[in-house]
Amino acid sequence: MLSIHNPATGEILAILPADDAASVAAKSRLARAAQTAWARVALQERLACVGRFRAGVVRELESLARTMTQETGKPITMSRNELNGLLARIDFFSAETAASIASETVFDDATTQEQIEHVPLGLIANISAWNYPWFVGSNVLIPALLTGNAVLYKPSEFAALTGLAMTRLWHEAGVPKDLLACLIGAADVGSALLDQDLDGVFFTGSHATGQRIAQTLAPRLVKLQLELGGKDPSYVCADADPQTAAAALADGAMYNTGQSCCSVERIYVHEAIHDSFVHAFVETVRSFKLGDPLQDSSYIGAITRAPQLAVLQAQVDDALAKGARLLTGGKRLSGPGNWFEPTVLIEVDHRMALMREESFGPIIGIQRVSDDAEALRLMNDTRYGLTAGVYTPDAARARALLAQIDAGSVYWNCCDRVSPRLPWSGVGDSGVGLTLSRYGIQTFTRPKAWHLRRV
Ligand code: NAD
């Protein structure tokens, strides 16, 4: 059994029957058998399923948003935003799949023809995080199903109700039940899933779990994609407008209560505008309303996983012990549920865990720098490499800086942004492989080479 708690109140929302090794193996066998027929279904028919799935999301949007908010603590307006954002991703995949997987003739003369065919991988695992369950679940499910794969989908144990709702909508849309199976449970169920005969594993979650999965799969040489955490920096140059940058970066750091893989996790500000930036930043953070995630007015919600409260407190305490100055927040709230005050620290540096380890919560350090070179060195001083941003009106300056950043995505005058048209990937400890964009469709296929000789 898996108990689902509301992190805002501590109440039990549901107790779900969980999978075990035997049920995972049975679902795996059925999915493997169903894949052959699905691969032969015309793309138009698979696209029609996606269209019906989309209609289901639209029809049930409000109740899906409430379910996600209740089990993750995400403010309801942000749950609605995620579901509306999902529609754009569905539309992207629907429009781009045919061209992305069309067979190509790459050479053709009197005797020889060479072709590339994109064939499905086969049976894949989608092991998913809880923080954007519709996004990270769907970045795999939509293109994997459209390209002819079977999927064993393990939503996070902190977003299991959402995972079940998503699976139900796919089945109602016409995706065969055996082809897409939802596995309910925590790490033990994820582990049992890895024991199956898989052709690919697509994981979104923490670096520690990603590393464990890579070690488990290494002897079997299974295709593996890992979308992991980050310690994403932003740099505000001397010529930026401090108020505008502060408003944008406060949102980038605190949106979804700081529990986004691409949350702004550390900020560097040129000394010329440091004080006015910090003043505006703190004003903005103080304006964020913390409260019941089901209320439209709430901007800061609950911390989804209770153990993260201790991680946040330890980062704050470590920073303070090493000389940081606390401007607002700084501690968890007493009472029921998992709550941490939005927290801003200045006079921070890279000796502090706050500036090195993923925080994944509503806390942020702002460090003063004296020039672009120092900012660049600090931004690249990390094991991670998911996103990084620069705020300046000077396009050439931004391009020159961003060209030297080791990250999967770089931002000029924006942050905490994902586009279905662009590949989503990390370097270093932020992962391997990618989702989204045309590459994120092809990644669910294997390019098969055809050498054809006319006799
Ligand atoms: P997590 O690693 O704790 O769990 C992720 C999934 O792995 C869950 O479904 C979990 O049950 C499963 N799991 C745990 N142990 C397992 C094992 N031994 N074998 C197989 N599966 C196992 O991560 P989380 O707390 O759900 O997510 C937060 C993390 O995800 C953060 O680090 C965040 O940055 C990252 N994230 C990254 C992206 C991205 O696109 N790069 C997107 C969202 C979240």
Distance in angstroms (rounded) separating the CA atoms of residues 253 and 345: 13
Selection from 268, 263, 360, 349 nearest residue 310 by Cα:
360
Q: Judge if the beta carbon of residue 426 lies within 6 A of ligand 1.
A: yes
Q: Judge if the beta carbon of residue 34 lies within 6 A of ligand 1.
A: no
Mean pLDDT, rounded, for 38-55: 98
Q: Can you give the pLDDT at residue 186?
A: 98
Same domain, 192 and 71: yes
Q: Can you give the pLDDT at residue 272?
A: 98
Q: Can you give the pLDDT at residue 44?
A: 98
Residue nearest atom 26 of ligand 1, based on CA coordinates: 129
Same domain, 208 and 248: no
Atom of ligand 1 nearest to the CA of 139: 40
Residue 70 sits in a domain of what CATH number? 3.40.605.10
> Cα(183) to centroid of ligand 1, in Å?
15
Best residue for ligand 1 mutational test, from 261, 359, 422, 424 (most atoms within 8 Å of Cβ): 261
The set of catalytic residues is 227
Same domain, 219 and 241: no
Same domain, 394 and 294: yes
Distance in angstroms (rounded) separating the CA atoms of residues 43 and 279: 54
Render pLDDT for 439-453 as a digit per residue (tens, 0 to 9): 999 999 999 999 999
Distance in angstroms (rounded) separating the CA atoms of residues 97 and 136: 18
Render pLDDT for 120-148 as a digit per residue (tens, 0 to 9): 999 999 999 999 999 999 999 999 999 99
> Cα(100) to centroid of ligand 1, in Å?
28
- 104 forms bridges with which residues in the sheet? 116
Q: How many domains does the chain have?
A: 2
Q: Can you give the pLDDT at residue 275?
A: 98
Q: Can you give the pLDDT at residue 203?
A: 98
Atom of ligand 1 nearest to the CA of 205: 30
Q: How many CB atoms lie within 10 A of CB 209?
A: 17
Q: Judge if the beta carbon of residue 152 lies within 6 A of ligand 1.
A: no
Same domain, 305 and 377: yes
What are the distances in angstroms from CA 166 to CA 163, 218, 304? 5, 30, 20
Selection from 128, 304, 309, 143 nearest residue 210 by Cα:
128
Same domain, 388 and 441: no
Helix (H, G, I), strand (E, B) or coil at 4: strand
Alpha helices in 21-75, H assignment, sequence order? 21-40, 43-59, 61-72
Alpha helices in 291-419, H assignment, sequence order? 307-321, 372-379, 395-402
Q: What residues make up the domain containing 398?
A: 233-419
Residue type, 262: C
Q: In this structure, are strands 180-182 and 150-154 parallel, antiparallel, or unpaired? A: parallel
Q: Judge if the beta carbon of residue 148 lies within 6 A of ligand 1.
A: no
From first CA to last CA, the distance across the chain in angstroms is 63
Residue nearest atom 38 of ligand 1, based on CA coordinates: 261
Q: Judge if the beta carbon of residue 331 lies within 6 A of ligand 1.
A: no
Phi, psi (deg, nearest 5) at residue 118: -95, 105
Residue nearest atom 23 of ligand 1, based on CA coordinates: 205
Same domain, 352 and 434: no
Alpha helices in 361-428, H assignment, sequence order? 372-379, 395-402
> Which residues, at least 6 apart from 442, have a Cβ–Cβ distance to it below 8 Å?
100, 101, 118
Q: Can you give the pLDDT at residue 286?
A: 98
Residue 300 sits in a domain of what CATH number? 3.40.309.10
CA-angle at 192, arms to 186 and 197, nearest 5°: 140
Full DSSP string of 225-253? EEE-----EEEE-TTS-HHHHHHHHHHHH
Q: Judge if the beta carbon of residue 156 lies within 6 A of ligand 1.
A: yes
Q: Can you give the pLDDT at residue 281?
A: 98
Selection from 134, 378, 167 nearest residue 256 by Cα:
134
Mean pLDDT, rounded, for 384-400: 98
Q: Can you give the pLDDT at residue 25?
A: 98
Q: Can you give the pLDDT at residue 80?
A: 98
Same domain, 219 and 312: no
Q: Can you give the pLDDT at residue 232?
A: 98
Mean pLDDT, rounded, for 244-267: 98
Q: Can you give the pLDDT at residue 397?
A: 98
Same domain, 182 and 150: yes
**Which DSSP symbol is given to 392?**
-
Q: Grade residue 341 by pLDDT with cuts at 50, 70 and 90.
A: very high
Same domain, 406 and 446: no
Q: Judge if the beta carbon of residue 94 lies within 6 A of ligand 1.
A: no
Q: Judge if the beta carbon of residue 375 lies within 6 A of ligand 1.
A: no
Selection from 203, 199, 174 nearest residue 191 by Cα:
203
Same domain, 271 and 178: no
Total-model pTM: 0.97
Q: Grade residue 428 by pLDDT with cuts at 50, 70 and 90.
A: very high
Best residue for ligand 1 mutational test, from 124, 126, 127, 308 (most atoms within 8 Å of Cβ): 127
**What is the average pLDDT score of the chain?**
98
Render pLDDT for 155-189 as a digit per residue (tens, 0 to 9): 999 999 999 999 999 999 999 999 999 999 999 99
Distance in angstroms (rounded) separating the CA atoms of residues 146 and 455: 36
Q: Grade residue 382 by pLDDT with cuts at 50, 70 and 90.
A: very high
Q: Can you give the pLDDT at residue 199?
A: 98
Q: How many CB atoms lie within 10 A of CB 149?
A: 26
Report how far Cα 408 is from the mean position of its chain's Cα atoms: 13
Same domain, 415 and 448: no
Render pLDDT for 279-337 as a digit per residue (tens, 0 to 9): 999 999 999 999 999 999 999 999 999 999 999 999 999 999 999 999 999 999 998 99
What are the distances in angstroms from CA 100 to CA 57, 282, 440? 25, 46, 9
Q: Can you give the pLDDT at residue 283?
A: 98
Q: Grade residue 101 by pLDDT with cuts at 50, 70 and 90.
A: very high
